[in-house]
Homo-oligomer: A and B are copies of this chain.
């Protein structure tokens, strides 16, 4: 009988992605070497190349795994029969939880997407585009004026994403405000502005 994959194949591969995410987040894709990743995994460079054909392939896995998780969370948050404002709140809570739980992958996605060749980055961008559209539809359902002014839908969605995506540069989950509180604050700011967000 032919030998199969090692029993811990998936675990080893995931350990590589996790180590790479941490290093890419800290030093950037070009600032972290494959040797650094190997060292962090307590393995050899050759082992890394057994699991991945190239350094870029690792970067791709770091990003696609994160963006797929966001896609699934967005699907779950918008699936039910809740009001659009409640769906936006659920989606934002799920996103903030993923941003904090996968902070390294999130930072890499936002900083190093253009280090991927166009063909690979296109796949990531397509998933992101779907998330933007989903939020744009929620916002248009919440604010009828947005449904009429088609050209304003993407800018509105991007202002919203700016609030929550920018958190990776400053938010500390151990600080004075929690991730769930911050998510609510961003949603309230979107729905009612400052007075709604801090009251």
Contacts and interface: CB of A to CB of B under 8 A. Distances in A.
Interface of A: 26-31, 110-112, 114-115, 139, 142-143, 145-146, 149, 151-152, 154-156, 158-159, 161-167, 169-171, 176-177, 182, 185-186, 188-199
A198 B162 CA distance: 17
30 contacts: A26-B114, A28-B29, A28-B112, A28-B114, A30-B30, A142-B194, A143-B195, A146-B194, A151-B177, A152-B177, A155-B185, A156-B185, A156-B189, A156-B194, A156-B197, A158-B166, A158-B170, A158-B171, A159-B163, A159-B185, A159-B197, A161-B166, A162-B162, A162-B163, A162-B164, A162-B165, A189-B189, A189-B190, A189-B193, A190-B194
B198 A31 contact: no
In the complex, the count of this chain's copies comes to 2
Given A161-B166, A193-B193, A194-B191, A155 B182 contact: yes
